[in-house]
Amino acid sequence: MGERGPTIYDVARHCGVAASTVSRVFSRPTRVGADTRRRVHAAAAELGYRPRPLARDDGPERVRTVTLVVSDIANPYYPPLIKAVQARAAQLGRTTIVTDSDESPEVEAGNLRRSLATSAGGILATSRLSDRAVLELAEHRPLVVLNRRIDGLSSLVVDTPAGMRAAVRHLVALGHRHLLYLSGPRNSWVNSRRWAAVHDEAGAHTTLLGPFPPTRRGGHTAAEEIRAHPGATAVLAYNDLIAIGAMERLAARGVRVPEDLSLIGCDDVFGADLVVPGLTTVAGPTGRLGRRAVDVLEAGLTDPTAEPTTVTLGADLVVRGTTGPPPGN
């Protein structure tokens, strides 16, 4: 089983249950039937599996504290989310710890283990960790994931893939036929869903470029690849920062938006309406997402027997100045 020893996945295979069930047996045993608990404990004993405990602080401050992890605190998508989480947590008498993973699964895992040691539970916003790593952390503290689905955990997702489908239909209605998609991080769950939505809606007329870092600099790099596809007349980006960065670099290269190329982002971050021309983008209710996430976590903390909650919030296409008919139309 390797130097790390057996994992919950090994135990799950051994007794024929889901890994999330094994996680619940050790974190919230009252949510699992007695027979299943006995099977899991027997398999764990046979394999020599032992949950790795977090360093615990069971004082009153831990009970009142929740952790929020974001992938890049410099990304303007996150401040409204952080403010919403902090405000709602404060209403419930809780303090929020915010930790930045810097788009690194290794940094995220280390930060989470340290912060969860002094927290009652956590909210993972656009986590870069694998399902396996998140489930192992959920053995020790209740977790809620945002913009991600993991079997056995509560999750809240903004339906930006539906917004991306609407974006494709908008471009097609304008007359565009050859589209590009600028991919975000390879290990981003929501990136793969956004690309799948674009591809399903546009079919063979869409080309995937990237992945690119979800930053303006990533957009600068993407712009050079866009110029290598002169037949494309419209671009959809994983997020607004890539779109804005691409628009900056394209302007420096003499490419006009939207006269020569239409461009659509995603998330409607602060500044998307301030660039010139204003960025057409897919917008979701970020503040409501943060507030609902705290409520879902609170429900799990209050009632450990509660079943995981799945919430989907809508997204809308906001049309501004970066989309128009293709050249020659």
DSSP line for 171-195: HHHHT---EEEE---TT-HHHHHHH
Q: Is the pLDDT of residue 230 over 50?
A: yes
Rounded to 5°, the CA angle 97-140-191 comes to: 65
Which whole-number Å values give the CA distances from 321 to 2, 83, 163, 275, in the listed order?
55, 29, 17, 10
Residue 36 has a pLDDT of 86
Give me the pLDDT at residue 59, please: 47
CA distances from 61 to 89, 97, 113 (A): 14, 12, 17
pTM of the model: 0.81
| Per-residue pLDDT at 1 | 40
Asked whether the beta carbons of 81 and 289 are under 8 A apart, the reply is: yes
Q: How far is Cα 281 from Cα 284, in angstroms, rounded to an integer?
A: 10
> Any idea which residue has 């710890």 for tokens?
97
**Every domain of the chain and the residues it spans:** 8-47, 60-158+286-314, 160-284
Domains 8-47 and 60-158+286-314 share a fold: no
Least confident window among 176-185, 200-209, 298-307: 298-307
Chain mean pLDDT for the chain: 90
47 falls in which pLDDT band (50, 70, 90)? Answer: confident
Q: What percent of the chain has pLDDT over 90?
A: 65
Residues 6+ apart with CB under 8 A from 222: 182, 209, 210, 212, 237, 242, 245, 246
Quick one: which H or E segment has residue 154?
A: strand 154-158
**pLDDT for residue 160 is more than 90:** yes
Which tokens go with 134? 């998140």
Alpha-carbon distance values, 172 to 146, 237, 253, 315 (Å): 31, 16, 26, 19
Question: Which amino acid, 279?
Answer: L
- Whether domain 160-284 has CATH 3.60.20.10: no
Task: Identify residue 268 by its one-letter amino acid code.
Answer: D
20, 46, 15: which is closest to 31 by C-alpha?
20
Distance of CA 269 to the CA centre of its chain: 15
DSSP 304: T
State how far the Cα of 214 lies from the Cα of 127, in Å rounded to an integer. 14
Residue labelled with tokens 């970020």: 286
| Residue 157's pLDDT band (cuts 50, 70, 90) | very high
Distance between CA atoms of residues 267 and 246, nearest Å: 16
Return d(Cα 147, Cα 155) in angstroms, integer: 7
Amino acid letter at 180? L
Q: Quick one: pLDDT at residue 117?
A: 84
| The pairing of beta strand 179-182 with beta strand 206-209 | parallel
Q: pLDDT digits over 55-101, tens only?
A: 454 444 456 899 999 999 999 999 999 999 999 999 999 999 999 98
Sign of the Cα torsion 200, 205, 211, 214 reads negative
Residue 175: its pLDDT value, please?
Answer: 96
The fold for domain 8-47 equals 434 Repressor (Amino-terminal Domain) (1.10.260)
Record: fold of 60-158+286-314: Rossmann fold (3.40.50)
Tokens of 248: 């900056």
From the centroid of its chain, how far is CA 296? 17
Residue 220 has pLDDT above 50, yes or no: yes
Angle at 189 between CA 184 and CA 300, to 5 degrees: 135
